[in-house]
Amino acid sequence: MENKYEYLKRDISWLSFNYRVLLEATDERLPLYERINFISIYSSNLEEFYKIRVADHRAVASGSTKNDEESVQSARQLVEEINAIVTRQTDERLRIYEQQILPALRQEHIVFYQDSQIEPFHRPFITKFFEEEIFPYLQPVPVGSGVVSFLRDNRLYLAIRVYPKAGPRTPLYFVMKQPYAKVPRFIELPPHEGYSYVMYTEDIIKANLPLIFPGYEVDSAYCVRISRDADILIDDTACNDELVEQLKTKVKKRKIGDVCRFVYDRTMPHDFLAALTAAFRIKVDEIVQGGKHLNVEDLRLLPKPGQGGPPVVERPKPIRLTTLNERASVFDYVARKDLLLCYPYHSFDHFLHFLYEAGQDPLTEEIMVTQYRVAENSAVINSLIAAARNGKRVTVFVELKARFDEENNLATAGMMRAAGIRIIFSIPGLKVHAKVALVLRRGGGGEEVPSYAYISTGNFNEKTATLYADCGLFTCHRDIVHDLHNLFLLLQGQESISFSTLLVTRFNLLPELNSLIEREMTLAREGKAGRIILKMNALQDHTLIDLLYEASQAGVQIDLIVRGICCLVPQQPYSRNIRVTRIVDSFLEHARVWYFAGDGSPRLFIGSPDWMHRNLYRRIEAMVPVLDADCRAILIRMLDIQLADNQKACFVDARSRNCFKPWQPGTPAVRAQYTFYDWLDQHRPV
């Protein structure tokens, strides 16, 4: 029977989210360099999207990969649709950059040169800088005429056309890799009459091309770049040692994967473009228009003249709880009541102090942690190593298949193993995405003492903890500790595992989730207030979307706070009671929080899974019920504030468009992230 429901396309919805990121660059209330940084984030997001998602669709479209959910024709149509949307978004990005950002920089007395046409008073400096700092690292490579060249992934190249000054006027083409390993992307020039000046390195090169090609007339030069398939296909049913060797080999090949995007300066003449695409065997559906300057994710490095580098955007200082200062015991506090921390509003140092205390506590027997993405030179890893050297048993599950973090995870695993930490690697056929830690303790005389569980929505990464909005729960609740211990036994290969309180994918999470939604439907049918609020990063699984459609039709009032992908279609007869809210602001909304009103007896959960098919069926994820009334109150307050946001929140409509909430000056302004920070600062636990 044909499904009566509709769904938005996953990748088109993601493009809508990324466009919302770009729109932050238009907000004149933000510091200028923060607006510039959002252009960088937009571009970086798009690059990864092409390397993974578009690369997959192109593989299906070419027939090299089969997909039961996508035909060759539908894959081709989707790639065309994506490219068309990205082209329109690129037009908007260029408009924002040229008509808003550059004039705003000039208002701050910063002139950002955009081409090789420079003021006469800077020409001597630019020529000298080129000759001394850039020229030694340049190596033009001829293109065409049987010459085989290779463009590396994510590198910026200058494509140049020249004509011999003597003989037949036959065009010659060259590509030249930009020397950013040796020279910064942005160069500060001498100030002049109260104005500071910045210039792209490639524009300095363009201004001096005749010095590189003596005997030739330089016709023109344009930036180009290649994006290559970065997905890694491995046999993850292999044993650990074989898996490690596979990853080491395939990560190295990531830079030479198949082309998934060829981006070029849209002002390039057609015959110039044709010569390049023929030489590099670029297919039509791989060609994507760009601006004069590519790799604009580098704008995060744009210096503010006189500061010696990019300006640091001011953020509220993380709240350090006086009840958990360095002289206090996290263990003692959590033994009395559960503790909920909300990052980056609360300091991540409290979690580091928890690990430190576990490593020093004489009653600690074992520390268990999952590692998905950790920071380089991680304080978390250093704390675990210190605990191991202090005689504690430390077990760390390392997910080797965390995309783009494979090498870092391998390196940290090797470092931990050398320090005596027991390392468990990936489970065959699954990713472990749960973010959990467990401290098992035993009394010196065998008496029972509390053990401690920590379940988070975010990675154990002190760097992203300052950028991502996440939640983490400390508890010594016996059932949760027992379930979390069972989860680690599962990760070690033990079978016949069950869970009574913790919700774990592939075990009890989906049945319990269905039961929670059905409970609200029953209340609504009885004339009571059925209410659900779901906060997550992505909503794609059709089975759960269908259940939300059914709940809506039963009268349940549903609010979805979904940062990224949302395949549920609002504003339809079957979704009339569902609103979809998207928030993009200073911090990346990353927490997963589920709220079920329960006719005055609310149930709340936090944890790691989004409602993507992969999360629910192909990963180990964990959600924990929030049992403490004070912790539940914090989460409810956070959700209420986010739903009241009228500054950075927008509704997502039936066409996946970002529709900003109307706000009238003079009415209270609610900017959820900063309002919630202020509330947390005023309601510190005691």
Range in 150-159, 261-270, 408-417, 541-550 with the lowest mean pLDDT: 408-417
Rounded CA separation 642/264 (Å): 40
Helix (H/G/I), strand (E/B), else coil: 642? helix
Question: What pTM was computed for the model?
Answer: 0.93
Q: What is the CA radius of gyration of the chain?
A: 28
- Catalytic site includes residue 346: no
Give the rounded percent of residues in the chain with a pLDDT score beyond 70.
94
The alpha carbon of residue 599 and the mean position of all alpha carbons in its chain are separated, in whole angstroms, by: 36
Give me the mean pLDDT over the 274-280 stretch. Answer: 92
How far, CA to CA in Å, does 98 sit from each of 40, 94, 499?
15, 6, 56
The alpha carbon of residue 192 and the mean position of all alpha carbons in its chain are separated, in whole angstroms, by: 40
454: which strand partners? 437, 474
Q: Which of 299, 303, 301, 343 is nearest to 320 (CA)?
A: 343
Phi, psi (degrees; rounded to nearest 5) at 389: -70, -20
| pLDDT, tens digit (0-9, with 9 covering 90-100), for 245-264 | 655 555 555 566 788 899 99
The alpha carbon of residue 176 and the mean position of all alpha carbons in its chain are separated, in whole angstroms, by: 31
Judging by beta carbons within 10 Å of its beta carbon (0-12, 13-18, 19+), is residue 228 exposed, middle or buried? buried
Please answer whether residues 484 and 506 qualify as being in contact, where contact means their C-beta atoms are separated by less than 8 angstroms: no
Q: Which of 583, 585, 594 is nearest to 651 (CA)?
A: 583
Give me the mean pLDDT over the 311-327 stretch. Answer: 80
Give me the mean pLDDT over the 486-513 stretch. Answer: 95
Domains and CATH numbers, the chain: 8-108 (1.20.58.310), 117-297 (3.30.1840.10), 322-498 (3.30.870.10), 509-682 (3.30.870.10)
Q: Is the pLDDT of residue 605 over 80?
A: yes
Considering the candidates 433, 485, 590, 613, report the single residue annotated as catalytic.
Answer: 433
What is the chain's length? 686
pLDDT level of residue 310 (50, 70, 90 thresholds): confident
Q: Of 165-169, 204-208, 430-434, where does the model show the most confidence? A: 204-208
Beta strands in 446-577 (DSSP E): 452-456, 468-475, 503-504, 531-536, 557-562
Q: Which parts of 187-314 fold into alpha helices (H)?
A: 201-207, 209-212, 240-253, 270-279
| pLDDT, tens digit (0-9, with 9 covering 90-100), for 446-468 | 778 999 999 999 999 999 999 99
Q: Which parts of 433-508 fold into alpha helices (H)?
A: 478-491
| pLDDT, tens digit (0-9, with 9 covering 90-100), for 413-433 | 888 999 999 998 877 778 899
Could you give the angle at the alpha carbon of 429 between the alpha carbons of 428 and 430, nearest 5°? 95
Query: The tokens 């069950």 sit on which residue?
Result: 498
Query: The tokens 């403490």 sit on which residue?
Result: 628
Helix (H/G/I), strand (E/B), else coil: 525? helix
